Amino acid sequence: MRYNSTRNSGADVSAAAAIARGISPEGGLYVPADMPRLSDADFDALRGADYAGRARLILSRFLTDFTDGEIADSVAGAYTGGRFDDDQPAPLVQLEKGVHILELWHGPTCAFKDLALQILPHLLTRSAKKMGDGKKTVILVATSGDTGKAALEGFKDVPDTEILVFYPEDGVSPMQKLQMTTQEGANVFVAAIRGNFDDAQTGVKKIFTDPAVGEKLAAHNMAFSSANSINWGRLVPQVVYYVSAYCDLVNQGADLSDGFDVVVPTGNFGNILAAYYAKCMGVPIARLVCASNANNVLTDFLTTGTYDRNRQFYTTISPSMDILVSSNLERLLYHMTGRDDKKVSGWMQALSDTGRYTVDGDIADRLRELFWAGCCDDTETKAVIREVYEKKGYLCDTHTAVAVGVYEKYKQQTGSGRPAVIASTASPFKFAASVLDALAPDKAQGSEFEMVDKLHEATGWKIPGPLAGLKGRTVRFDTDCEREHMLDVVYNRLGIR
């Protein structure tokens, strides 16, 4: 399997090169040059396998320059040995008949990012070794809250790596901030920037693609890579849990004669893109439902064909989706245009110059067939949390609730009777203040940990160990910087002048 770039279809690199570099030199994203299809025999094998077995098979189709042993060791290092509750990274829970919740928050940081970021360090260090330049890998991360912690947890004390995380000062929840600023490990660094997630992401991308910066690092025997979902090594592990959910549905005897729908609370478009890849591999996904919060740039794009980031940015109770520039959409556009790198480059240039672009009419039509898009504001999201808890006894976090709310709108407007899988992306205790405020507004006050305890008392739901363990930890990082100074922070940390 070879990889092209969305802005240079002539690029022809191995999976190891795509993962080690993170982003293509001209600023495009790496995509597989063709899509592996799963056979009936593959699906039989997948249905009979546990999560690790499913991951080994899917990864082996995309990472063809890795040996079976390398893939097996990476998978075992990530998904076994108790890193996820009961060694079950992606259990499928029934909410009601035909509606299933894919719980992706049973890992060390209580959000779905763990599914990819527990395995990425294994893939990345092996990729860097294959590239054979002996350089130290410097991971730069821009985070809207959850990626940062999951990446820190994945890369802490991994030999020959350094990791630096930038988060928006006022754009993350108190729990997310505490998770990051108390991170342990000798090779980790965390800084707040004065700006929002898009500023952080733009700043990181700029550092990555500046040739002068790259040369300076190379002179110190270092090279950048990314742990954001622009890195192919983040996406491929996410394909696994959609295949896994399908296998579980079949094993549970679901009626899949018309396929099933997948609903994803979306920010940077990585998670839902992984579901698209699963569909391309032969998983019978009918419709991809893209759920947004008040930052509904994707809802508008997928319904009209015009992407327009010139709009108000809202800070919401689902902060990991407070994004106006969804990086991974670029990959989808590349596939939808039949790999037209010129067209994609043009749209991305327009996005950077004017903040908007419009895709061709036939592409907009095909997007509408493939996707259904909707949004929920904070008031609707809180109502969903309360209703789902009162009627079904199920506790959603704020992001998952956006997906449930959009799914209800989807069902109402389209009358879809197909089974649905709703991705649940975070533990409710990670956003305890907002969840408690939805359930019992009179109780929603006090410190973050008091609210975690109150949420536990109100519902009887178990507090995840990794969150309970944060109490009383020392804050190690209090750096903040203007977004123009991110590069100085990086050089400082790396000891480069």
Catalytically active residues, by annotation: 113
Q: 222-226 and 188-194: which strand pairing?
A: unpaired
Q: Smallest gap, in angstroms, from Cβ of residue 266 to ligand PLP?
A: 4
Nearer of residues 9 and 326 to ligand PLP, judged by Cβ: 326
Q: Which span (261-269, 364-372, 379-387, 468-476) binds ligand PLP, by CB under 6 A?
A: 261-269
| 3-class SS shares of the chain: helix, strand, coil, % to 5 | 50, 15, 35
Nearer of residues 116 and 223 to ligand PLP, judged by Cβ: 116
Q: Which span (81-89, 180-188, 260-268, 368-376) binds ligand PLP, by CB under 6 A?
A: 260-268
* Residue 96: exposure state from Cβ atoms within 10 A (0-12, 13-18, ≥19): exposed
Contact assessment for residue 287 and residue 313, using Cβ atoms and an 8 Å cutoff: no
Nearer of residues 47 and 83 to ligand PLP, judged by Cβ: 83
Residues 212 and 265: their CA atoms lie apart, in Å, by 37
For residue 289, the surrounding DSSP H or E stretch is strand 285-292
Nearer of residues 192 and 402 to ligand PLP, judged by Cβ: 402
* Residue 41: exposure state from Cβ atoms within 10 A (0-12, 13-18, ≥19): exposed
Q: Smallest gap, in angstroms, from Cβ of residue 222 to ligand PLP?
A: 27
Q: Which span (60-68, 89-97, 269-277, 366-374) binds ligand PLP, by CB under 6 A?
A: 269-277
Interface positions, 308-347, toward ligand PLP (CB under 6 A) = 320-321
Contact assessment for residue 56 and residue 74, using Cβ atoms and an 8 Å cutoff: no
> Among 399, 411, 418, 454, which residue sits at the site for ligand PLP (rule: CB under 6 A)?
399
397 vs 96, 113, 488, CA distance in Å?
Answer: 18, 15, 36
Binding-residue total with ligand PLP (CB under 6 A): 16
Contact assessment for residue 423 and residue 264, using Cβ atoms and an 8 Å cutoff: yes
Residue 271 binding ligand PLP, by CB under 6 A = yes
> Among 30, 269, 276, 407, which residue sits at the site for ligand PLP (rule: CB under 6 A)?
269
Residue 267 binding ligand PLP, by CB under 6 A = yes
Per-residue binder mask for ligand PLP (CB under 6 A), 167-186, x = binder: --------------------
> Among 21, 56, 100, 113, which residue sits at the site for ligand PLP (rule: CB under 6 A)?
113
Question: What's the start-to-end Cα distance of the chain, in Å?
Answer: 40
> Among 229, 295, 296, 337, which residue sits at the site for ligand PLP (rule: CB under 6 A)?
229
Nearer of residues 143 and 337 to ligand PLP, judged by Cβ: 143
Contact assessment for residue 421 and residue 442, using Cβ atoms and an 8 Å cutoff: no
Q: Which residues of 210-237 are buried (b: 16+ CB within 10 A; e: fewer)?
A: eeebbebbeeeebbbbbbbbbbbbbbbb
Residue 270 binding ligand PLP, by CB under 6 A = yes
Nearer of residues 197 and 449 to ligand PLP, judged by Cβ: 197
Q: Smallest gap, in angstroms, from Cβ of residue 268 to ligand PLP?
A: 3
- CB-based contacts of 441, cutoff 8 Å, min separation 6: none
Nearer of residues 4 and 266 to ligand PLP, judged by Cβ: 266
> Among 24, 266, 293, 295, which residue sits at the site for ligand PLP (rule: CB under 6 A)?
266
Residue 81 CB neighbour total at 10 angstroms: 9
Nearer of residues 399 and 411 to ligand PLP, judged by Cβ: 399
Query: Quick one: angle between helices 432-439 and 448-459, nearest 10?
Result: 50
Strands (E), 51-209: 92-96, 99-103, 136-142, 161-168, 188-194
Quick check: helix, strand or coil at residue 371?
Answer: strand
> Among 108, 265, 405, 466, which residue sits at the site for ligand PLP (rule: CB under 6 A)?
265
> Among 15, 71, 90, 111, which residue sits at the site for ligand PLP (rule: CB under 6 A)?
111
Contact assessment for residue 334 and residue 31, using Cβ atoms and an 8 Å cutoff: yes
Contact assessment for residue 476 and residue 181, using Cβ atoms and an 8 Å cutoff: yes
> Among 70, 146, 153, 248, which residue sits at the site for ligand PLP (rule: CB under 6 A)?
146
Nearer of residues 17 and 111 to ligand PLP, judged by Cβ: 111
Q: Which span (30-38, 39-47, 259-267, 305-313) binds ligand PLP, by CB under 6 A?
A: 259-267
Q: Which span (1-9, 262-270, 366-374, 375-383) binds ligand PLP, by CB under 6 A?
A: 262-270
Q: Smallest gap, in angstroms, from Cβ of residue 290 to ligand PLP?
A: 9
Residue 175 CB neighbour total at 10 angstroms: 23
Give CA angle at 470 (464, 472), nearest 5°.
140
Interface positions, 419-448, toward ligand PLP (CB under 6 A) = 425-426
Q: Smallest gap, in angstroms, from Cβ of residue 143 to ligand PLP?
A: 9
Q: In DSSP terms, which residues pair with 139 in a beta bridge?
A: 163, 225
What is the binding site for ligand PLP (CB under 6 A)?
Answer: 111, 113, 146, 229, 265-271, 320-321, 399, 425-426
